[in-house]
Amino acid sequence: MNTFSPLQDRRTVRIPAGVVGCREAGAGIPVLFVHGIVANGLAWRHVARRLAGQARCIAPDWPLGSHHPAMPSADLSLPGLARIVVDVMDALGLGDAVLVGNGYGGDIAQVVAVQYPERARALVLAATNAFDSDPAPTRVLQRLTALPGAGALQAIGMRSRHMQRQWFTYGGVTKRPIPADVMTSYLTSLWSDRQVRDDFRRFLGQLSPRHLAEASPRLAAFDKPALVVWPTEERYFPAEGARRLTQTMPRARLVTVDDSYSWMPEDRPDLLADLLAEFLAELSPASP
pLDDT 10s digits, 86-139: 999 999 999 999 999 999 999 999 999 999 999 999 999 999 999 988 776 677
pLDDT 10s digits, 231-260: 999 888 888 999 999 999 999 999 999 999
* 2 within a domain of the structure (yes/no): no
* 266 within a domain of the structure (yes/no): yes
Least confident of 18-22, 112-116, 162-166, 280-284: 162-166
* 4 within a domain of the structure (yes/no): no
pLDDT of residue 287: 43
Q: Looking at the predicted structure, is the pLDDT value of residue 147 above 80? A: no
* 215 within a domain of the structure (yes/no): yes
Q: Looking at the predicted structure, is the pLDDT value of residue 288 above 60? A: no
Instruction: Write down the mean pLDDT value for the chain.
Output: 91
Coil, strand or helix at 228 = strand
Structural domain of residue 238, as residue ranges? Answer: 10-282
Are the CB atoms for 131 and 213 separated by under 8 Å?
yes
Crossing angle of helices 150-157/180-192, nearest 10°? Answer: 160
Q: Which residue has the higher pLDDT, 209 or 153?
A: 209
Helix (H) or strand (E) holding 83: helix 78-91
Average of per-residue pLDDT across 41-63? 96
* 102 within a domain of the structure (yes/no): yes
pLDDT 10s digits, 173-214: 999 999 999 999 999 999 899 999 999 999 999 998 999 999
pLDDT of residue 138: 74
Domain with 154 in it: what CATH number?
A: 3.40.50.1820
* 287 within a domain of the structure (yes/no): no
Nearest-5° Cα angle at 113, 110 to 119: 140
Coil, strand or helix at 156 = helix
* 98 within a domain of the structure (yes/no): yes
* 24 within a domain of the structure (yes/no): yes
**β partners of residue 175:** none
How many folded domains does the chain comprise? 1
For residue 69, cis peptide bond before it (omega within 30 degrees of 0): yes
